[in-house]
Amino acid sequence: MNLAGRKPNIAIVGATGLVGSTFIKVLEERKFPYEKAYLMASSKSAGNTVAFDGKDYVIEELNEHSFDKDIDIALFSAGGGTSAKFAPIAAEHGVIVVDNSSQWRMDPNVPLVVPEVNPDAAFDNKGIIANPNCSTIQAVVPLKPLYDKYGIKRIVYSTYQAVAGSGIKGIRDLEEGLKGNDINIAYPHPIANNCLPHIDVFEDNGYTKEEMKMINETHKILGDDNIAVTATTVRVPVFTSHSESINVEFEEDFSDIQEIKDLIGSFPGIILRDDPANNVYPLAREATGTDEVYVGRIRRDFSVGSGINFWCVADNVRKGAATNAIQIAELLIKGQK
């Protein structure tokens, strides 16, 4: 469906969740243009009211008939199983789904989009567009200008991921744990005063699913399967905003580190925080509540011919989920260049 120039009718699926409630906040903040809105969740919260844009909406239970109505765009954040079942139903009804779960990301018929990096891919959809994993989104934004200028041979990701990435239950585990009450609902071990090198399930190759998501999604978004990528993903006792150490080896050399800083600092969606002499570098507490990707500690990796290390932080619920999805919807309304 061509949405260019339209004021669409929108649905928020999973409107009561952490990402869903952030959708509401970000849509309001960005004054996203829409005609009608429908808020949906499970039977558990159907009938409750949620305020959006100064109006009270009754939460509807998501079911097979939810998309019989005149909906143009549906922002899904209700888990992979829900997306697996209901995104195709919505697409069959002519709705464009922007899906936050991992369900459709690696489907060759589904574009995986970060608007600063591969905006054109969004227009190549068959009714479902996938929002990448939160840790991948913030990584590929600074990697894109580097990839375009120098080519990338290899990437090593090490992540320090906030509990908000596990939704409301992750936040509760940390809140309770900090009070000395280890409830362990989201994780196999207490998260308070701990670092868990375990995000999502373990796969047969010894990596976690989160690590494999970062590897596979980086290839798909940058459109290059030849980049060697490896990852270690770690859950840390921080409420919101993921931090990442990223090591990159380039195909070609760069002249000096300032050239890299200028390149990253002038890329859309990035705020450079790189003044170590004054203790300035990206911090989770600064990124939380904002939509940008913060980059700093940029330095040459002396162990390879041409490479760098940097530190990158973003609000995982906003740029890593809700904001990125809404930016995709904005792209669709704006239309292709």
Task: Provide, rounded to whole angstroms, the least separation between the CB of residue 79 and ligand NAP.
Answer: 4
Site for ligand NAP in 301-330 (CB under 6 A): 316-317, 320-321
Q: d(Cα 124, Cα 248) in Å, to the nearest integer?
A: 29
Pair of tokens at residue 174 = 């940390």
Q: How many Å separate Cα 4 from the centre of its chain? A: 24
Q: d(Cα 81, Cα 61) in Å, to the nearest integer?
A: 15
Complex with ligand NAP: residue 46 or 280, whichever CB lies closer: 46
> Is 18 a residue that touches ligand NAP (CB under 6 A)?
yes
> Is 293 a residue that touches ligand NAP (CB under 6 A)?
no
Active site residue 65: no
Positive/negative CA dihedral, 257, 263, 265, 270? negative
Among 7, 44, 126, 189, binds ligand NAP (CB under 6 A): 44
Q: d(Cα 288, Cα 171) in Å, to the nearest integer?
A: 14
> Is 14 a residue that touches ligand NAP (CB under 6 A)?
yes
Q: d(Cα 120, Cα 112) in Å, to the nearest integer?
A: 11
Site pattern 49..88 for ligand NAP (x: CB under 6 A) = -------------x--------------xxxx-x------
For the chain, what percentages of helix, strand and coil (3-state, to nearest 5) are there? 35, 25, 45
Complex with ligand NAP: residue 130 or 229, whichever CB lies closer: 130
Complex with ligand NAP: residue 137 or 152, whichever CB lies closer: 137
Task: Give 314's strand partners.
Answer: 242, 293
C-alpha closest to that of 59 among 73, 77, 39:
39
Among 141, 164, 227, 284, binds ligand NAP (CB under 6 A): 164
Give catalytic residue positions.
134, 242
User: Where along the sequence are the contacts to ligand NAP (CB under 6 A)?
Assistant: 14-20, 41-42, 44-45, 62, 77-80, 82, 100-101, 134, 164-165, 167-168, 316-317, 320-321
